Structure 1
Amino acid sequence: MSVTDKDRDILTRTLWGEARGEGLAGQIAVGWTIRNRVDDGKANSWWGESYAGVCQRPYQFSCWNKSDPNYAYLSGAKPIPPREFAQAQIAADQVMAGMVQDPTRGATHYYATSMPKPPVWVKGAKETLRLGHHIFFSDVP
């Protein structure tokens, strides 16, 4: 799959919005979760057909919800601090280029431990990684 400038920008913004407080390792883990959805191998995948498509598909990543406080930054209405954006861009580039291995072992889902209770989809899913304030899962029913 060819990656466009839009894919790179949207993935970078998503990593910032979803994991800016997790450092580079956490952003890479979230990036691999997105890549695993992009690379699911199914034609016309429910997840989407590209990094931008997966990241911006409704109900996948809350940072893109218009009601989310991060949305103003992701949409460009407010500037993302340059150093933070640069770090998210490094994570995005490394994940898209396959320069780092998948620390999530194939995860397609994660949630933040700050949530009041785990999402319903956790039941029956396989936990693959705990990193910072995120828990990653594969084989989600």
Structure 2
Amino acid sequence: MTATGKDRDVLARTLWGEARGEGLRGQIAIAWTIRNRVNDGRAKSWWGEGYAGVCQAPYQFSCWNKNDPNFTYICGNKLIPASEFARAHAAADQVIAGSAPDPTGGATHYYATTMPKAPLWAAKAKQTLKLGHHVFFKDVQ
């Protein structure tokens, strides 16, 4: 799939909103989870189409929910700090280009360990990675 400028920008904004405190390695892992959804084969009917479509699909990434405190930043109403946004763009570029390997082992899901409890789907899924404050999964039912 060819990524557009919008795909790159929306992916970087999503990485900042979901993992701004994780550093480049953690943002790359989140970006691979998104790329795995883009390339899943069900993209048009399930996840959304392309990086922007997957990132902005309703209720998939909480930073795009209007009640999320990060939403005002990622939608452009407030400025994301330049150095943080540059790191998110670097992660997005590496994953889109395929120059960074997938550390998640094909994960299509993750959750933040800062959540009060794990989501129900995690109990039956295969955990592939724990990195920073995120746990990654594939084979989610």
| 1:52 corresponds to 2:39 | no
Matches within 5 A, 1:16-31: 16-31=16-31
Q: Structure 2-normalised TM-score?
A: 0.98
Counterpart CA distance in 2 for 1:6 and 1:114 is 30
Cα RMSD, aligned residues only:
0.8
User: Is 1:107 matched up with 2:107?
Assistant: yes
Deviation for aligned residue 1:42 = 3.0
SS at match of 2:102: coil
Structure 1 distance, partners of 2:90, 2:56, is: 20
- One-letter amino acid of the structure 2 residue matched with residue 101 of structure 1: P
Matches within 5 A, 1:74-93: 74-93=74-93
Q: Report how many aligned residue pairs link the two structures.
A: 141
8 Å CA contact retained: 2:37, 2:43 = no
1:127 partnered with 2:118: no
Report the 3-state secondary structure (helix = DSSP H, G, I; strand = E; otherwise coil) of the residue aligned with 2:25: helix
Percent identity of equivalent pairs: 71
Give structure 2 stretches of 5+ with no counterpart: none
Q: Find the counterpart in structure 2 of residue 2 from structure 1.
A: 2
